[in-house]
Chains A and B, each alone.
Chain A
C-alpha cells in the first residue's frame, strides 16, 4: 500500500481532508508535522492547503524555513512525488521547488467555487492516470491563486510541457490560465484547486480522485 505523507504546518487546515481522501482511495496517509526532519516512510508527499505560519509576510514565505521542508526538498531531488495543493503550491514556489509565484487574484476577489480544469499533460506524478484534454470539475478556494512568472520562465513552462492544468474559464487572472504546473523532473506538482474536495460522490464531484489516485 502506498504511504502518502501529508505535511501540516501551524495554520494548515486541509490535512484531514487530504488524509481522508487518500484513505478512501486506497492509500495510507501519514501525517508529517512541520518540525519533523524526515518524511518518514512516505512514498509520496502532499503539502496540504491552509495558511501555513499565518501566511505572514507572504503566502508560503515562512513555511520554507520549517525543518520538514529540507526533508521534502531532498525527497523531491531524489525523484519522490511531491504535490502542493493551494497553500502547498504557494509554499513550493517560495521554497524554489517550483517556478513563479502566486499573487492576489485579479479583481481582489476571494474565489470559492467549483471550476472546470483541463488536463494538459499526463506525464506528471499527479496526472499520470488522467487523460490529456480531460475536463475535471474541482473546487477552488483562494485569494492568492493568480500565477505569475517572467516571460522566459513562462516560455520554458510551455515548451517543456510543464503546465499541468489550465482553467477553462480563468477565475483569478492567472497567467496563461495556469491552475497547476510541475518542475522539470515532473515529480513536483503544484495546483491551486483542491482535488481532495472532489474525491467522493457525497462531495458533489469525484473528478479529483483521478489526480490523487495517480500518487498511489
Chain B
C-alpha cells in the first residue's frame, strides 16, 4: 500500500448558475481588470488515500466524488493524484 495525495476540484456543471462567479466577474473591472471573463467558483478538497497503485487510488477518489463529494445534478469534478 502506498499513500497517495489527491487534489479534487468540484465546480458547477456547465449551464448551472454560478452566482459567486458572476459577482466576482462584475467586481474585478472595478479594480481595473475589465479584461476578465468566465469566472467560476468551486471548491478544492485535499485528501490522502492508501491504495495499491495510482490507478486504484484514482478510481476510488472518483467514486467518492460521485457518491458524496460532488452532487452530480449540479456539480462536476476533476481528480488529480499528486
Contact = CB atoms under 8 A, between A and B. Distances in A.
B68 A107 contact: no
Contacts of B73: 93, 100-101, 148-150
Contacts of A150: 73
Interface string B17-46: 101100100000000000000000000000
Interface string A26-61: 000000000000000000000000000000011001
Nearest to B23: A108
Interface of B: 16-17, 19-20, 23, 68-69, 71, 73-74
B71 A173 contact: no
Given A57-B69, A104-B20, 6 more contacts: A61-B68, A93-B73, A94-B71, A100-B73, A104-B19, A148-B73
Nearest to A102: B74
B59 to A, nearest CB: 21
Interface of A: 57-58, 61, 93-94, 100-101, 103-108, 146, 148-150, 173
5 contacts: A57-B68, A101-B73, A148-B73, A148-B74, A173-B17
B24 to A, nearest CB: 11
A106 B18 CA distance: 8
B19 A105 contact: yes
A173 to B, nearest CB: 6
Contact of A108 (B20, B69, B71, B74): B20
Contacts of A148: 16-17, 73-74
A58 B68 CA distance: 10
Most B CB within 10 A of own CB, among A57, A106, A173: A57
B62 to A, nearest CB: 17
B10 to A, nearest CB: 9
B17 A106 contact: yes
A106 to B, nearest CB: 6
